[in-house]
């Protein structure tokens, strides 16, 4: 049995990228490993949400975790800010995280580009907080999508650096992980290579989208003028549609359309219609559970309480031991 940790930022509703990159793994692993899954609400503060939005988003992610099949009796499901021990470990790790390496991080450079008026220290040290999240439970496996690979590399660096500095093997090095294949990157519908919450309108299919919304987004998805002769290369937007089909449709369906593309007989309207249908049947049961859970505050409160208790116990033990290793002593 290994220890598994992963989190999702509470900055909006979850989409198919989150599901296939991360949650699908969580559900598969929860009964076989010691699993901790959390809602990264401290991380969401880098974009300065209002108190109302902050709470609403945390609640929504909790609902969607449960709707997607996380069993709170099997895995520890908790809200990051319910475990303040994380912030102490974050502070301790910050002492050995260097400006240069943090500035070189791709996600930081991207944020500078996207929000030049809000380049706060929380953004710079975002990977350190992530490392704290992971190693506070001494996790070795971290199920994430491809976009988190570099953050995991940094988490490993910080864990190994701590071990070296204090001549210990206290923290196991954590690795990015995907259950049955390489790390996943689900593309967007707007031609962008990544589905994301903060991308353009229409880029993402949310787990809570109703059939009408899904249809509208898929029908509007970017395409090109179509292959003119057999064997032509695919453009990025078309490759995206096929990659989306790869995650929600059957192999037969995928092969049928691939074949049509290769023979240059494909009609993108047919492909979109099929993709819409398959996305709707995939999300329908999720959406139903989301609506049910949304009406059950008492249950949500119970899950959050139970998760906080279990997560804190594990986190407090680590922080106690780390303090000792560093040399904090009680008189």
Active-site residue set = 111, 194, 197
Rounded least distance, CB 135 to ligand TYM, Å: 10
Segment interacting with ligand TYM, rule: CB under 6 A, options 49-57, 96-104, 141-149, 308-316: 141-149
Question: From CA 97, how far away is CA 56, in angstroms rounded?
Answer: 33
Radius of gyration of the chain (CA): 21
User: Using the rule CB under 6 A, is 195 a contact of ligand TYM?
Assistant: yes
Q: Which of 113, 13, 121, 120 is nearest to 68 (CA)?
A: 13
CA max distance for the chain: 80
Segment interacting with ligand TYM, rule: CB under 6 A, options 87-95, 161-169, 182-190, 271-279: 182-190
User: Using the rule CB under 6 A, is 172 a contact of ligand TYM?
Assistant: no
User: Using the rule CB under 6 A, is 202 a contact of ligand TYM?
Assistant: no
Cα angle at 132 between 129 and 133, to 5 degrees? Answer: 90
Site string (267-306) toward ligand TYM, x via CB under 6 A: ----------------------------------------
User: Using the rule CB under 6 A, is 246 a contact of ligand TYM?
Assistant: no
Whichever of 17 and 307 has its CB closer to ligand TYM, that residue is 17
Interface residue with ligand TYM among 29, 68, 124, 186 (CB under 6 A) is 186
Whichever of 126 and 268 has its CB closer to ligand TYM, that residue is 126
Which residues are paired to 177 by β-bridges? 143
Rounded least distance, CB 21 to ligand TYM, Å: 2
Rounded least distance, CB 232 to ligand TYM, Å: 26
- How does DSSP assign 278-327, residue by residue? HHHHHHHHHHHHHHHHHT-HHHHHHHHHHHHHHHHHHHHHHHHHHHHHHT
Cα angle at 173 between 171 and 176, to 5 degrees? Answer: 140
Interface residue with ligand TYM among 4, 9, 68, 162 (CB under 6 A) is 9
Which single residue brings its beta carbon nearest to ligand TYM?
A: 21
Site string (36-75) toward ligand TYM, x via CB under 6 A: ----x--x--------------------------------
Question: From CA 212, how far away is CA 208, in angstroms rounded?
Answer: 12
Is residue 62 within 8 A of residue 8, CB to CB? The reply is no
Question: From CA 140, how far away is CA 307, in angstroms rounded?
Answer: 20
Question: From CA 107, how far away is CA 126, in angstroms rounded?
Answer: 9
Is residue 223 within 8 A of residue 267, CB to CB? The reply is no
Rounded least distance, CB 147 to ligand TYM, Å: 5
Question: From CA 87, how far away is CA 312, in angstroms rounded?
Answer: 12
Interface residue with ligand TYM among 69, 122, 173, 196 (CB under 6 A) is 196
# residues contacting ligand TYM (CB under 6 A): 25
- Kindly identify the residues of this chain, within the stretch 101-130, that bind ligand TYM according to CB under 6 A: 130
Question: From CA 43, how far away is CA 59, in angstroms rounded?
Answer: 15
Interface residue with ligand TYM among 17, 49, 227, 237 (CB under 6 A) is 17
User: Using the rule CB under 6 A, is 22 a contact of ligand TYM?
Assistant: yes
Sequence-distant (6+) residues with CB within 8 A of 30 are 37, 70, 71, 74, 75
Whichever of 266 and 311 has its CB closer to ligand TYM, that residue is 311
Binding site for ligand TYM (CB under 6 A): 5-9, 17-18, 21-22, 40, 43, 130, 133-134, 142, 144-145, 147-148, 184-186, 194-196
């Amino acid at each position: 049995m290994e220890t598994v940790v992963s989190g999702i930022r509470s900055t909006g509703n979850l989409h198919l990228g989150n599901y296939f990159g991360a949650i699908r793994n969580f559900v598969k692993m929860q009964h076989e490993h010691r699993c901790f899954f959390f809602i990264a609400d401290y991380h969401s503060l880098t974009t300065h949400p209002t108190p109302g939005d902050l709470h609403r988003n945390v609640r929504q992610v909790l609902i969607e975790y449960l709707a997607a099949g996380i069993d709170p009796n099997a895995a520890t499901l908790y809200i990051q800010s319910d475990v303040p021990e994380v912030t102490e470990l974050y502070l301790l790790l910050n002492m050995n995280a260097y400006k240069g390496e943090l500035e070189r991080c791709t996600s930081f450079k991207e944020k500078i580009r996207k929000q030049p008026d809000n380049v706060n220290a929380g953004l710079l040290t975002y990977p350190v907080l992530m490392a704290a999240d992971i190693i506070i439970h001494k996790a070795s496996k971290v199920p994430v999508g491809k976009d988190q690979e570099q953050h995991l590399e940094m988490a490993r660096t910080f864990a190994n650096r701590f071990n070296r500095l204090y001549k210990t093997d206290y923290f196991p090095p954590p690795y990015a992980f995907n259950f049955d294949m390489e790390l996943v990157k689900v593309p967007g519908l707007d031609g962008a290579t990544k589905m994301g919450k903060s991308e353009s309108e229409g880029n993402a299919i949310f787990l809570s989208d109703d059939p009408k919304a899904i249809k509208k987004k898929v029908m509007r998805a970017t395409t090109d003028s179509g292959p003119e002769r057999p064997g032509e290369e695919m453009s990025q937007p078309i490759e995206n549609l096929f990659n989306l089909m790869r995650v929600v449709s059957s192999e037969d369906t995928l092969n049928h359309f691939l074949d049509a593309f290769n023979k240059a007989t494909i009609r993108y309207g047919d492909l979109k219609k099929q993709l819409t249908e398959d996305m709707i049947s995939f999300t329908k049961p999720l959406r139903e559970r989301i609506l049910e859970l949304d009406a059950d505050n008492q249950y949500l409160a119970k899950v959050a309480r139970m998760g906080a208790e279990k997560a804190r116990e594990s986190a407090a033990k680590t922080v106690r031991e780390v303090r000792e290793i560093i040399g904090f002593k009680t008189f």
